[in-house]
Structure 1
């Protein structure tokens, strides 16, 4: 085995073969540097029968025939021992790993090296397999490939981890923790299962849990619903002028990008950044990174922000050209998301792709998104300011329990430059923050009712004032918080009484005492927050009087 192993070691050393992750090269080198001779015969019912025939009446160690078939063996034996010779085949079979080691070329017509399949597919680019059979299978394929064809069978070996149960245990019938993929597909879908497994890091074991599968089933549903939204908001097929306008957008040019309104420029810029990162990660075989980044962009940027912002164009703008611009962006971004996700989730992405208008070819054979497309970092930061403002207003609404349907007024305070680009997206801000569109005021200084308003700092140089009277009935809120404060103080005093009792502290288990201390600290923090809220509300009442 040593001569075979030496060639396989040289293949990695010379860079003809790359093992991913790189840390597994040490294991590969250790096995081959300390290789022992290999007994390739096995006493099993199934397998490739060893192609060796023995001569009846002769010493098996000295007299034998190697042939491709029994007929060829008999011809060889008669040539050597006469026409009356009797032969019998070795009853053993080849070790499974020996047969598997021949797989890369034996399936392609070898030893006929002129076979079309052999010429086209050997050697191949990548082998993907589990790290636990790096020596048993991978190293042996490399040795056999070099020995019988003169070249390594593949250029890269990508090693995935083992799939374990939710507790990190290896699946076994004894433990009863085997997850049947067919049952999993029925419950969660093929795409959700594929996506869950593909998010694993190369070489690291993955704990497969129901929670992961459920989350990625929800992701698949979110993708489907986003597709429905896009389809329902595109022009009808017979609207030729509308489709001409949409198809005239050339998002690969900087001129088109800079002509877009702020939300559209932001999402297209973010998409172009994602395409570059995803393509680079694919080239480096960082498949999990591609999945996670595309997931985050689709859910956090496209679905949560741009789809919601686009509704201001589609339903409230009253301007067909503005609506068509939003439709063009929705279609462009969504179809590129489908391309990025297709290797992970081929079924749902292909179904959605085929449903989009004017599809001339299947997604699986469509071109990969172009890289190095234009983006504008300055405009991305501007939209992030708008996002920060929206989040601040949403948080204030939640803090004061403002009814979701209630529209409130707001004063936005910033310098002239910020006011200009935020005010241009007044409709988007009103839609996303549930503001009264007719009562959003932009200014460079605090409003006259600032002391009776909730003051928000969204980012440096961008603030908002929300009139408290718009959000709550101040007198009712004071009454409600006073009752709540009284109840919290009673609970806090009970916790402190337990902690002040030497018997409790000395005799109760340590984890129980620690839990009570944590509850007391949490209660004290809530009391302080409630007191501050009450003080603010009472001062507002006094000012208004």
Structure 2
């Protein structure tokens, strides 16, 4: 049964489904039969019923008081009613005059791309006619979300995944951020893809959670440093980049450009993880307490600002990060970061971008020659503008070279050349790095933490690998957090280090330290040698 305007009941669908007649229908208000017959009846085959106006007008219904009810003859476009929404919702002008005037016109309106010629149009027509100004200041228009095959989502075709299954599998924030970064928020159509939501989880959420876990691993919950420190060039760059993100997102939100407000978060999280955190990793593990506090403070502050910035588009993730950092009040009750002026922010960003370009070109050269990043090289030659010492050191660390030599370039493009000659000494250092990676991989597989000291037993016929243990034994101990490294037969797994065979086994060191701090491990290993424990 279909109800149309003014309580008229359409019988056509009920007749089709139930093979009944109009006499079986009842008025919905009081369930009384039709008060008066009309001038035609259904034929036996069901024909003869017409819903056009001149037939419907013959139908009368009985009201609760027994009076006859007829269709109102005037027809008014229903969008006219929608256009009166700003006034009708407050019963203006009959009451709430001050409240209406304080809130008219509205700051913004949001609806689908099918509304500009209907609701938006009527809102403006009525508002301009009555008040002499438009009914809203800003508009957010979304496109249509289609199935992955480009067709309209249809229950009959089953061409879309169950929304609740998507939420349960990936989380609501992943879906929300996927949509916020898509063309659908720029009034364009979107072919919804579950792979796109999965990509958000992998490239945004999991990376962010890993950064948070790394911070919690090395931070002291009883003495959290909440203040950034720009003494180190990486900290200075991260602080500047964070303020740029805050500024960019704030401008986009103030312009009601939700798409532009959401997209920069992905690149920021990637830079936070793959550049800042990776290049600062040794600082967290180092012996310089002042520098360690500085990097912890900068990372905590960055994560807090990121939580604030991402809270509108990923509210659950932002709240989780915020609470995990030890904040008691909800991130959604916190104040948006105040705009700050960063000195020489352009210089910092340009220099770091130049360093990153050199690194990218250097890594491409290594890949072209098939030389692993763990194999040290003597130098890289850069034909381009010379960078400051701090940025040069980042290039050295990232490309695993001993020196950087700057030469005058053509002024337009940076060109890099790597010295590919591998001396016996460089080769041993390459073996050392491979051993560190292998042993730390075994630690991770065994579920050990940075506080667990291990004993390493190795067995090899390779003279080169034996030299590594002799020349770099102490460095290896420190890098893998080992209390003892010895050569002996063992039942460990046989593996290959740059073409050389070795069998390695690890186990927890028998001498356990009650409170072993990462910064104490060099002293610990030294005391083992001298017998001072």
Q: TM-score, normalised by structure 2?
A: 0.58
1:324 aligns with 2:293: yes
Give the aligned partner of residue 154 of structure 1: 136
Change in CA separation of 1:361 and 1:91 when aligned onto 2, cut-off 3 Å: farther
Change in CA separation of 1:198 and 1:416 when aligned onto 2, cut-off 3 Å: closer
RMSD (Å), alpha carbons? 4.3
1:229 aligns with 2:214: yes
* Mapped contact 2:6–2:71 kept (Cα < 8 A): no
In 2, Cα distance between the equivalents of 1:178 and 1:144?
Answer: 39
Secondary structure in 2 matching 1:158: strand
1:334 aligns with 2:318: no
Give the aligned partner of residue 95 of structure 2: 113
> CA offsets, 1:361-403, max 9 Å, x none?
3222322223352143223333234323433443344334445
In 1, Cα distance between the equivalents of 2:90 and 2:315?
Answer: 27
Give the aligned partner of residue 117 of structure 2: 135
Structure 1: gaps of 5 or more residues: 1-38, 51-55, 58-69, 75-85, 250-255, 446-457, 474-545
1:193 deviates by: 1.0
Give the aligned partner of residue 361 of structure 1: 329
Structure 2: gaps of 5 or more residues: 11-27, 30-34, 37-62, 429-533
Change in CA separation of 1:420 and 1:202 when aligned onto 2, cut-off 3 Å: closer
Change in CA separation of 1:229 and 1:144 when aligned onto 2, cut-off 3 Å: farther
* Mapped contact 2:284–2:292 kept (Cα < 8 A): yes
* Mapped contact 2:252–2:260 kept (Cα < 8 A): yes
> CA offsets, 1:174-215, max 9 Å, x none?
443244432321232211111111122422112211221121
| Higher helix content, 1 or 2 | 1
1:329 deviates by: 1.7
> CA offsets, 1:22-65, max 9 Å, x none?
xxxxxxxxxxxxxxxxx9768568xxx99xxxxx99xxxxxxxx
In 1, Cα distance between the equivalents of 2:138 and 2:345?
Answer: 37
> CA offsets, 1:390-449, max 9 Å, x none?
334433443344456x44132245699947515x764x55653345xxxx245678xxxx
- How do residues 382-397 of structure 1 correspond to structure 2 at under 5 angstroms? 382-397=351-366
In 1, Cα distance between the equivalents of 2:320 and 2:288?
Answer: 32
Q: TM-score, normalised by structure 1?
A: 0.57
> CA offsets, 1:193-249, max 9 Å, x none?
111111224221122112211211222222222222233333x2323xx63xx43x4
Change in CA separation of 1:107 and 1:403 when aligned onto 2, cut-off 3 Å: same
Give the aligned partner of residue 284 of structure 2: 314
Give the aligned partner of residue 367 of structure 2: 398
Aligned pair partner of 1:172 in 144, 154, 163? 154
In 2, Cα distance between the equivalents of 1:189 and 1:472?
Answer: 47
Alignment coverage as a number of residue pairs: 369
Aligned pair partner of 1:377 in 346, 351, 360? 346
1:272 deviates by: 2.3
Give the aligned partner of residue 175 of structure 2: 193
- How do residues 226-375 of structure 1 correspond to structure 2 at under 5 angstroms? 226-234=211-219, 236-239=220-223, 243=225, 246-247=226-227, 249=228, 259-299=230-270, 301-316=271-286, 318-357=287-326, 359=327, 361-374=329-342, 375=344
1:432 aligns with 2:432: no
